[in-house]
């Protein structure tokens, strides 16, 4: 199976990335851990929580698994391909364990629950299996595993938000950071395994989120992305103060920390993004004008089978409303090709909806049946591989055209760009992003900018995935 992300490399480029030890970390650790992350941004964010818990207990990070005492894989179950990758990595770590039998291997995250018996008992691939809500018990589980026991905790919680744990941002550009605001998901999209692997939705204490964002800003960060599977259903109730915080209210509170701190969020379910959220975005310059609004399919019939709870027309009206409130807003999407019973006509509906929505970017996937999901239980995965492949290729081709046109339309415009670091191609150029989340590259000459500064950049040319410009002001 192949997954595509058009024109921009985003999460896909980070698959399997290992956390880097902090250069400034002067602590002497008794043991070293290595952690490799897969899947969505939530998982990468969770690895930073795990790192914090392990640091507390005297373990330091390494990027070389050959010197690690503990090797963790933070896993994803969203598509079959992600599971296969993890399995092959585990076999490589197993070989290393033959050379160093004292090394412990652990599986964290979404694969934990479903594959615990297989990994621990049947295939004897790992020493520890730890689910996404059980990271606080890691120190105990490590002790058990060191004592030769099989260490497992895959219990899902209705409360755990790790609110009090400060993630260690040991692999960061120092400018942008992800902040988890909720966990789990209560939606039951029929294709999706997340509600089963990450449990019920719960929102994190609003004040712990604000404190974390304030701390990041004090430490030089200039952008936070508020993370959740469905951020618009964020709802936090402080019984003592008789206060309720909705997502729009949270956005405002974070935006008010400092006008120089940009705020982004992901992901929005189209059914939940409210007028209040749109108006709050419009009101604050530092709330980025960018919405990731996954449509999944352009066919109302397929959307119903997917249990997305909106129709094609309803989604189109939402896009129109976003463009009415914020004409300059960037919009991106997730699209699944070849869901159960999808006909050629349904597929054409997806293509035409993409043309209507004019997404700047899309993450595009084959449908991959996941055991235990509603779709796996109710429907037949009846679109053959070749058809899925062809339809996905058509979707990718169209998205590339739309993205290119969107970038061409930006030529001549001036954008405020937050500088994230050197361009990947040349140290003579800066690389940053516009409020619409587009990557902008421009020459360092003429201005004395540094990483974390805002620059006004006039766009002169583009590629499919990058705007290329020239600084015209601070």
- Residue 370, binding choice from ligand SAM, ligand SF4, none, Cβ under 5 to 8 Å by partner class: ligand SAM
Judged by CB under 6 A, how many residues of this single chain contact ligand SF4?
Answer: 9
- 3-state DSSP helix/strand/coil percent for the chain, to nearest 5? 35, 25, 40
Phi/psi for 449 (5° steps) reads: -80, 160
Task: Report what 367 binds from ligand SF4, ligand SAM, none; CB cut-off 5-8 Å by kind.
Answer: ligand SAM
Instruction: Identify what 78 binds: ligand SAM, ligand SF4, none; CB under 5 to 8 Å per kind.
Output: ligand SAM
CA distance 365 to 337: 6
Q: Can you tell me which of 368, 399, 406, 434 binds ligand SAM, judged by CB under 6 A?
A: 368
62: left (phi over 0), alpha (psi -120 to 50) or beta: beta
CB of 60 to ligand SF4, least distance (A): 33
State the number of binding residues for ligand SAM (CB under 6 A).
Answer: 18
**Residue 308 or 431 with smaller CB distance to ligand SF4:** 308
Q: Does 79 bind ligand SAM (CB under 6 A)?
A: yes
- Whole-angstrom distance, CA of residue 414 vs CA of residue 67: 48
Beta strand segments in 44-163, E: 59-61, 70-75, 104-109, 128-130, 151-153
Q: Cα(450)–Cα(263) distance, rounded to whole angstroms?
A: 20
Using CB atoms, what's the residue nearest to ligand SAM? 334
**Binding at 365: pick from ligand SAM, ligand SF4, none (beta carbon under 5-8 Å per type):** ligand SAM
Contact segment (CB under 6 A) with ligand SAM among 48-56, 125-133, 172-180, 188-196 equals: 188-196
- Only one of the segments 153-161, 189-197, 324-332, 348-356 lies at the binding site for ligand SF4 (rule: CB under 6 A); that segment is 189-197
Smallest gap from Cβ 160 to ligand SF4, in A, equals 17
Q: What is the C-alpha R_g of the chain?
A: 22
End-to-end CA distance of the chain: 45
Angle between helices 344-357 and 312-325 (to 10 degrees): 10
Provide, rounded to whole angstroms, the least separation between the CB of residue 304 and ligand SF4.
14
Tokens describing residue 149: 């026991």
Are β-strands 439-443 and 466-473 bridged in parallel, bridged antiparallel, or unpaired? Answer: parallel
The burial of 182, by beta-carbon neighbours within 10 Å (0-12 exposed, 13-18 middle, 19 or more buried), is given as buried
For ligand SF4, which is the closer residue by CB, 106 or 294? 294
Show the site string, 208-247: x = touches ligand SF4 by CB under 6 A, - = not. Answer: ---------------------xx-----------------
Residue 195 partner contact from ligand SAM, ligand SF4, none using kind-dependent CB cut-offs of 5 to 8 Å: ligand SF4
As a residue count, the chain comes to 474
Structure tokens given for 293: 């609004």
Rounded Cα gap, residues 441 and 457, in angstroms = 9
Which residue in 6, 180, 208, 296 binds ligand SAM (CB under 6 A)? 296
- Residues 8-47, one symbol each (x = binds ligand SAM by CB under 6 A, - = not), give --------------------------------x-------
Between 8 and 79, name the residue whose CB sits nearer to ligand SAM: 79
Where in 412-471 is the site for ligand SAM (CB under 6 A)? Answer: none
Among residues 185, 248, 250, 273, which is the contact residue for ligand SF4, using CB under 6 A? 185
Q: Is 75 in the site for ligand SAM (CB under 6 A)?
A: no
Nearer to ligand SAM, 294 or 330 (CB): 294
The CA distance from 291 to 192, in Å, is: 21
Distance in angstroms (rounded) separating the CA atoms of residues 372 and 391: 26
Strands (E), 320-383: 330-337, 361-366
Closest separation in Å from C-beta 169 to ligand SAM: 22
- Per rule CB under 6 A, is residue 365 in the interface with ligand SAM? yes
SS (H, E, C) 362-403: EEEEECCCCCCCHHHHHCCCCCCHHHHHHHHHHHHHHHHHHH
Is the distance from CB of 280 to CB of 226 less than 8 angstroms? no
Task: Name the token pair of 4.
Answer: 């595509």
Q: Which of 106, 167, 199, 294 binds ligand SAM (CB under 6 A)?
A: 294
Q: Which of residues 203-262 bind ligand SAM (CB under 6 A)?
A: 229-230
Count of helices and strands (H, E) across the chain: 13, 23
Which single residue is written with the structure tokens 């790192």? 51
What string marks each residue from 244 to 283 as x (binds ligand SF4 by CB under 6 A) or -? Answer: -------------------------x--------------
| Binding status of residue 309 toward ligand SF4 by CB under 6 A | no
Alpha carbon 302 to its chain centroid, in Å, reads 25
Phi/psi for 410 (5° steps) reads -85, -10
Q: Cβ of residue 376: shortest distance to ligand SAM, in angstroms?
A: 9
Would you tell me which residues interact with ligand SAM (CB under 6 A)?
Answer: 40, 78-79, 191-192, 194, 229-230, 267, 269, 294, 296, 334, 336, 365, 367-368, 370
Would you tell me which residues interact with ligand SF4 (CB under 6 A)?
Answer: 185, 187, 189, 192, 194-195, 229-230, 269
């Amino acid at each position: 199976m192949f997954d595509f992300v058009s024109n921009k490399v985003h999460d896909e480029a980070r698959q399997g990335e290992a956390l880097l030890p902090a250069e400034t970390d002067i602590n002497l650790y008794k043991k070293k851990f290595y952690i490799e992350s897969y899947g969505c941004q939530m998982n990468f964010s969770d690895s930073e929580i795990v790192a914090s818990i392990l640091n507390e207990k005297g373990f330091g990070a390494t990027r070389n698994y050959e010197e690690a005492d503990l090797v963790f894989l933070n896993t994803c179950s969203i598509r079959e391909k992600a599971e296969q990758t993890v399995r092959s990595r585990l076999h490589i770590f197993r070989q290393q364990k033959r050379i160093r039998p004292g090394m412990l291997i652990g599986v964290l995250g979404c694969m934990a629950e479903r594959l615990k018996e297989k990994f621990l008992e049947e295939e004897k691939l790992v020493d520890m299996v730890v689910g996404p809500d059980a990271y606080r018990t890691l120190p105990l589980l490590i002790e058990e595993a060191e004592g030769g026991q099989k260490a497992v905790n895959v219990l899902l919680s209705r409360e755990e938000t790790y609110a009090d744990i400060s993630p260690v941002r040991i692999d960061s550009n120092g400018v942008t950071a992800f902040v988890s605001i909720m966990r789990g998901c209560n939606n039951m999209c029929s294709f999706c395994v997340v509600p089963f692997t990450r449990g019920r939705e719960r929102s994190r204490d609003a004040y712990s989120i604000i404190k974390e964002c304030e701390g990041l800003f004090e430490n030089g960060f200039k952008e936070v992305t508020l993370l959740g599977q469905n951020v618009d259903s964020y709802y936090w109730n402080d019984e003592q103060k008789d206060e309720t915080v909705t997502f729009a209210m949270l956005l405002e509170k974070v935006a008010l920390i400092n006008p120089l701190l940009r705020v982004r969020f992901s992901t929005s379910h189209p059914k939940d993004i409210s007028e209040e959220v749109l108006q709050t975005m419009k009101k604050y310059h530092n709330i980025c004008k960018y919405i990731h609004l996954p449509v999944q399919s352009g066919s109302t019939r397929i959307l119903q089978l997917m249990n997305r709870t909106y129709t094609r027309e309803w989604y189109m009206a939402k896009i129109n409303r976003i463009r009415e409130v914020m004409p300059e807003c960037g919009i991106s999407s997730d699209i699944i090709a070849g869901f159960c019973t999808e006909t050629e006509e349904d597929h054409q509906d997806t293509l035409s909806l993409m043309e209507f929505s004019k997404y700047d970017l899309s993450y595009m996937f084959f449908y991959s049946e996941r055991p235990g999901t509603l779709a796996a239980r109710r429907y037949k995965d009846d679109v053959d591989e070749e058809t899925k492949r062809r339809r996905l290729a058509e979707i990718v081709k169209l998205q590339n055209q739309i993205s290119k046109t969107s970038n061409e339309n930006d030529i001549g415009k001036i954008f405020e760009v937050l500088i994230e670091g050197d361009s990947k191609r040349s140290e003579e150029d800066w690389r940053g992003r516009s409020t619409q989340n587009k990557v902008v590259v421009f020459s360092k000459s003429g201005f004395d900018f540094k990483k974390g500064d805002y620059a006004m950049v006039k766009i002169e040319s583009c590629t499919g995935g990058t705007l290329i410009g020239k600084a015209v002001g601070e």
